[in-house]
Amino acid sequence: MSEQLSADIVVIGSGIVGSLAARRLALQGASVLILEAGPRLNRGRVVAAFRNSPIKGNWMGAYPPSPWAPHPIYVPKDNGYLKQAGPYPYPAEYIRAVGGTTWHWAAMAWRLVPNDVRIKTLYGVGVDWPMTYEELDPWYQEAEELIGVAGAPDTGSPRSQPFPMEPVAEPWSMRRFCERLAPAYAVVANTVARNSRSYGGRPACVGNNSCQPICPVNAQYIGENAVAAAEAAGVRLIENAVVYRIEHDAQGRIAAVHYFDPDKGTHRVTGKTFILAANGIESPKLLLLSASDKYPNGLANGSDMVGRHLMDHPSSSITFYADEELWLGRGPQSPSSINTLRDGAFRSQHAPYRLDFTNISQVLSVTQDLIKEGVYGAEFDKQLRWRAAHQVSLKNVLEVLPDPDNRITLSSEKDAMGIPKPEAHYSIGDYTRRGADVSKADFTRIAELMGGTGLRYSADGQFANNQHITGTMSMGNDPKTSVVDGFGRTHDHENLFICSTGVMPTAATMNSTLTAIALALRTAEHILPKPADVHAAALNAEREASLS
Amino acid sequence: MTNEIQQVVPHHDDPADPSRRRLLAGLLTAYTASLIPWALAQPAPHADRGAFTALSAILVGRQALDATQTARLYDALVADDAHFPADVQSLLTLINQRQIDPLQLQNVLDTEHSPLAPLPRKIVGAWYLGVVGSGEAARCIDYETALNAVAVADVLKPPTYAYGTYGRWANKPI
């Protein structure tokens, strides 16, 4: 046995959420240790890996899994890590590495809209959150100032303080959407963790148009930045530490966690408080793996709710040719959305949605289309340029309601370390499908307003996934129907907290990361409160630092 | 970039090594020479590479192809398939003899159930995507110089390359 590892607070998972919780606790004077299953990555190497990848349409191409901490890969072929129990496929993507999945996010940092947390009361669907939007507001603000969020005022999410940054400059293509869709649709700048000026020691965006898979210039906040901030605050991180069991004592308190190193050597880490922050799939997997005589269904699972209520955001889409040259691919990949359909009385009938415009360069996809069509000779370049200039695409981001049958369980198959793989049980309900049907009329109307030709709708009943893994360790006031309380503390274990998108009891219509960070900061405050004056002074110092 | 095919064979000459010039020119007929007149003066280390150069130029509609890139793509394609050089010769011969318009080529090969039907896509994919091989055997040979990047280089940078200073994308593209 190597050194005896111990800390006041042990965090499992080094993603953006866990790392920012760890940082906050370390700044409060706690000794904090993060255990990360995957290796450290290097930004320059990721950029090179993408440029050298033969599958550039797949963002995971630059992130091969490590043998000891596999993550799902589907292209060029399914590596069989996330088992699919059906009936509908759930091909979730995430990254097990230091910094986690936000290595390749679009940096969308939306808040909820206020009614998202009350859909049971207001619309008779889903569940209410154990908190109000107003309670979340200061935590959103703290999160936004930490990661550097740029946004427009008219998003439907009220705020008591201004955004840290002005919206990122609008690409020409989005300006034309904005002008031509008005007044039928209001197109607004996305709320993003992307710099519109120097902020937090990082530069403004320079339009590399590769936010996913990787921002080469560090203009977009990612988990690596969160890890660096945590380490600067005194957090210790051990990479390649694959936690496979959480150990409790006779009273049901968590006593230690056990991890494998890549050579399968075992290590035990003790602590006073434990935070599980290993994403919405790996975290419930670990809770289920940690079953004992006292807790035969796994830890934190007295309610049998661990792994259940799996949600994400399915999307259907339309692709068409606008009647003017828009040349997607100039500027960031995800600049603008239509937010007006995220809430309304219709939520009692069908899923709300955000309409999301892509600004991803169309060059790769139209090249593939032309090759498929067998266009050769001088016509290829001509067609390539015309299509790359005119082709646009729009998708919905649909709410999925919590359904206990949608869940993550342990597969009978094991990974290379002998740890059971996660298995997804998933279906897309009628509420979401009705939302997709309704949004089709928006697709058509928007295409008309853009003089669209060659309209191509995604196939009915077919949805792309958005990797916003939510619900599997839902928060709630009732221990019978939820896994954690409103502060992220597991109902069953006094010193085990969860910081993850997985604690969100509903998925709403926005990318889940910012909400998970806000909830994690709130959890950190609950574990170790900051004195009020210290909190205010720290926030002010951060504001001043961000102006430098 | 020019999309127009020059109809006049230019007065290329390469007195240093006229045998090389004859080598590539000898692979073309009047019809294919009219598609790629520049190729008549191109040196090629051997007939197989010459045929690949000529066929590539016809398929991608170019009046010039970088010699190093040609060699790298050729080597990668041959590494995948030992019959590749012979297939290239066969397809070039077919186009030479039947004067097939590149735009009609795939249709002709598909209609006739030709064993050469997969070949144009392989070659065009190599040039435009910079990728040779498929599935797990696929590998990236070119990125910044893949022809799909070159074709739009006046408007777009290949993803991961900075477009310009902050906000330059707000302007009208062209």
The architecture (CATH level 2) of A5-546 comes to 3-Layer(bba) Sandwich (3.50)
Residue type for position B56: S
Structure confidence at residue A242 (pLDDT)? 98
Q: Is A361 on the interface with B (CB under 8 A)?
A: yes
Report the residue from A196, A206, A377 with minimal CB separation from B163.
Answer: A206
Q: Is A276 on the interface with B (CB under 8 A)?
A: no
Q: Does A380 sit within 8 Å of B140, measured CB to CB?
A: no
Tell me which of B39 and A468 has the higher pLDDT.
Answer: A468
Asked if residues A169 and B166 have their Cβ atoms less than 8 Å apart, the reply is: yes
Structure confidence at residue B70 (pLDDT)? 96
Q: Does B173 sit within 8 Å of A327, measured CB to CB?
A: yes
- Confidence band for B113, pLDDT divided at 50, 70 and 90: very high
DSSP B54-118: HHHHHHHT-S---HHHHHHHHHHHHHH-TTHHHHHHHHHHHHHHHT--HHHHHHHHHHTT-TTTT
Q: Is A377 on the interface with B (CB under 8 A)?
A: yes
Residue type for position B170: A
Report the residue from B61, B138, B162 with minimal CB separation from A208.
Answer: B162
Mean pLDDT (chain A) is 96
Q: Does A330 sit within 8 Å of B156, measured CB to CB?
A: yes
Query: Domain segments of chain A: what residues?
Result: 5-546
Q: Does B169 sit within 8 Å of A331, measured CB to CB?
A: yes
Q: Which residues of B touch A389 (CB under 8 A)?
A: 155, 173
The DSSP H or E segment spanning A258 is strand A254-260
Q: Does B165 sit within 8 Å of A206, measured CB to CB?
A: yes
Distance of CA B150 to the CA centre of its chain: 13
Q: What end-to-end distance do the CA atoms of chain A give, in Å?
A: 47
Q: Which residues of A touch B110 (CB under 8 A)?
A: 374
pLDDT tens, residue by residue, B11-47: 333 434 555 444 577 788 989 988 888 877 777 778 8
Report the residue from A171, A374, A377 with minimal CB separation from B169.
Answer: A171
Collapsed DSSP state (helix, strand, coil) of residue A169 = coil
Structure confidence at residue A537 (pLDDT)? 64
CA distances (Å), B93 to each of A338, B6, B118, in order? Answer: 55, 21, 16
Structure confidence at residue B13 (pLDDT)? 38
pLDDT tens, residue by residue, A413-463: 999 999 999 999 999 999 999 999 999 999 999 999 999 999 999 999 999
Q: Does residue A277 register a pLDDT over 80? A: yes
Structure confidence at residue A543 (pLDDT)? 62
Domain count for chain B, please give it. Answer: 1
Q: Which residues of A touch B138 (CB under 8 A)?
A: 54-55, 76
Tell me which of A239 and A541 has the higher pLDDT.
Answer: A239
Q: Which residues of A touch B139 (CB under 8 A)?
A: 54
| Residue B163 counted as domain residue | yes
Reported ipTM: 0.93
Structure confidence at residue B5 (pLDDT)? 33
| Residue B11 counted as domain residue | no
Asked if residues A99 and A230 have their Cβ atoms less than 8 Å apart, the reply is: no
A contact test, residue of B2, B32, B160, B163 with most A CBs within 10 A: B160
Q: Give the distance from residue A146's alpha carbon to the nearest chain B alpha carbon, in angstroms.
A: 22
Whole-prediction pTM value? 0.94
Q: Does residue A63 register a pLDDT over 80? A: yes
Q: Give the distance from residue A54's alpha carbon to the nearest chain B alpha carbon, in angstroms.
A: 5
| Residue B6 counted as domain residue | no
Q: Is A488 on the interface with B (CB under 8 A)?
A: no
DSSP collapsed to 3 states, A77-146 = CCCCCCEEEEECCCCCCCCCCCCHHHHHCCCECCCCCHHHHEHHHHHCCCCECCCCHHHHHHHHHHHHHH
Chain A, window 291-310: residues with a beta carbon less than 8 angstroms from a chain B beta carbon: none
Q: Give the distance from residue B19's alpha carbon to the nearest chain A alpha carbon, in angstroms.
A: 28
The mean per-residue pLDDT over the stretch A368-394 comes to: 98
Q: Which residues of A touch B73 (CB under 8 A)?
A: none
Question: What burial letters (b/e) apply to A358-378, b meaning 16+ CB within 10 Å?
Answer: bbbbbbbbbbebbbeebbbbb
| CA angle (A207, A212, A217) in 5-degree steps | 45
Active-site entry in A267, A468, A491, A493 = A468
Report the residue from B35, B120, B152 with minimal CB separation from A363.
Answer: B152
Q: Give the distance from residue B16's alpha carbon to the nearest chain A alpha carbon, in angstroms.
A: 31
Structure confidence at residue B6 (pLDDT)? 34
Q: Does residue A518 register a pLDDT over 60? A: yes
Q: Does A368 sit within 8 Å of B135, measured CB to CB?
A: no
Beta strands in A399-433 (DSSP E): 407-414, 420-426
Asked if residues A311 and A127 have their Cβ atoms less than 8 Å apart, the reply is: no
Rounded distance, CA A334 to CA A472, Å? Answer: 27
Burial class (CB in 10 A: 0-12, 13-18, 19+), B138: middle
Q: Does residue A366 register a pLDDT over 90? A: yes
Nearest to A125 by CA among A355, A471, A399: A399
Asked if residues A229 and A20 have their Cβ atoms less than 8 Å apart, the reply is: yes
Structure confidence at residue B2 (pLDDT)? 36
Asked if residues A180 and A186 have their Cβ atoms less than 8 Å apart, the reply is: no
| Residue B5 counted as domain residue | no
Rounded distance, CA B79 to CA B83, Å? Answer: 10
Q: Does A379 sit within 8 Å of B61, measured CB to CB?
A: yes
DSSP code for A220: B
Q: Does A378 sit within 8 Å of B3, measured CB to CB?
A: yes
The mean per-residue pLDDT over the stretch B148-170 comes to: 98
User: Is residue A468 annotated as a catalytic residue, yes or no?
Assistant: yes
Q: Is A179 on the interface with B (CB under 8 A)?
A: no
Q: Which residues of B touch A54 (CB under 8 A)?
A: 131, 133, 138-140
Domain span at B112: 18-170
| Residue B88 counted as domain residue | yes
DSSP code for A503: G
Report the residue from A52, A204, A381 with minimal CB separation from B166.
Answer: A204
Helix count and strand count (H, E) for chain B = 8, 2
Rounded distance, CA B76 to CA B126, Å? Answer: 9
pLDDT tens, residue by residue, A178-198: 999 999 999 999 999 999 999
Asked if residues A205 and A197 have their Cβ atoms less than 8 Å apart, the reply is: no
Q: Does A367 sit within 8 Å of B148, measured CB to CB?
A: yes
Asked which of A50-64, A321-335, A423-437, B26-40 is least confident by mean pLDDT, the reply is B26-40
Q: Is A330 on the interface with B (CB under 8 A)?
A: yes
Structure confidence at residue B10 (pLDDT)? 35
Helix count and strand count (H, E) for chain A = 12, 16
Q: Does residue A145 register a pLDDT over 90? A: yes
Mean pLDDT (chain B) is 87
Residue type for position B10: P
